[in-house]
Amino acid sequence: MKILLIEDDLKLIKYIKKYLTVYDYEVFIVEDFECIVETVDRIEPQLIILDINLPTLDGFYFLKRIRKNHTMPIIILSARSEEGEQIRGMELGADDYITKPFSVGILLAKINAVLRRAMQYSEENKIEDGKLVLLEDSLKLQYEHKTVELSKNEYKIIKLLMQNSGKLVSRDELFDVLTDYNRFVAENTLNVNISRIKSKLKELGLNHVITTKRGLGYVFYPIDN
């Protein structure tokens, strides 16, 4: 299991690397802080440990850059303990945030925890359209590093739309996947759930993904990679 450590404190690097190696992790170190993103692309680690105070640009900058193309777990290490800084890190896509000084045992526990969560997601049945992922077992919709939860009806509708990406899905086809076969109830259920799905896609930063074809049905347009 490859871990990339992006840190400039040599003593801390040696300490973390020695400890994690004992637990069979292969730890890589960033040697050129001008080429952090290129190093991530080359090594393709399963997890990244990222310091915020780096010699070049702020670690938050690199977090944002890495998240554009990669979904591996990222744990932030930082001497900045302010709540606002921690919130900023999580909003930019970090999986956890550890303030310095810290116990390396706690770091190991958090590494194991985020890797278990990542493994759970990777093994889950899913439908993908570009970076948009429908997690079927947990009824969640994920885009880049944001996730929203779906109701059963929302899940059934978005699943059918994603399976027919770019094609017209008629209202009758959507009625068929809803559990209530009363036509009047199904009409209202579909309208309400389409509206909720659009709102949740908007939460993920996706607008105009579902287009209404009045009197016919809906088209789910493929997500740009």
Q: Which residue ranges form the domains of the chain, and what is each CATH number?
A: 2-123 (3.40.50.2300), 126-220 (1.10.10.10)
Estimate to the nearest angstrom the gap between the alpha carbon of 135 and the chain centroid.
Answer: 11
Greater model confidence, 3 or 129 = 3
> Which pLDDT does position 75 carry in this prediction?
95
Residue 64 has pLDDT above 80, yes or no: yes
> Which pLDDT does position 201 carry in this prediction?
95
67-122 residue pLDDT tens: 888 888 999 999 888 888 888 898 888 989 999 989 999 999 999 998 987 776 65
Long-range contacts of 103-112 (CB under 8 A, 24+ apart): 104/15, 104/16, 104/19, 107/16, 107/49, 107/75, 107/77, 108/19, 108/20, 108/23, 110/75, 111/3, 111/20, 111/25, 111/47, 111/49, 111/75
Residue 33 has pLDDT above 60, yes or no: yes
pTM of this structure: 0.58
Strands 132-135 and 140-143 turn out to be antiparallel
How far apart are alpha carbons 147 and 59 in whole angstroms? 23
Short-list 75, 135, 70, 72, CA closest to 104: 75
Token pair of 181 as six digits: 């076969």
Residue 193 has pLDDT above 70, yes or no: yes
Most confident of 14-18, 122-126, 143-147: 14-18
CA 47-51-56 angle, to 5 degrees, is 120
Residue 180 has pLDDT above 80, yes or no: no
139-179 residue pLDDT tens: 899 998 789 999 888 999 999 999 999 999 999 899 888 75
> Which pLDDT does position 121 carry in this prediction?
60
> Which pLDDT does position 222 carry in this prediction?
82
Residue 225 has pLDDT above 50, yes or no: no
Averaged pLDDT of the chain: 89
Q: How much is the average pLDDT of 127-141?
A: 87
Tokens 């991530």 — which residue? 40
Token pair of 106 as six digits: 């706690």
> Which pLDDT does position 219 carry in this prediction?
96
As a whole-number percent, the residues of the chain with pLDDT over 70 amount to 93
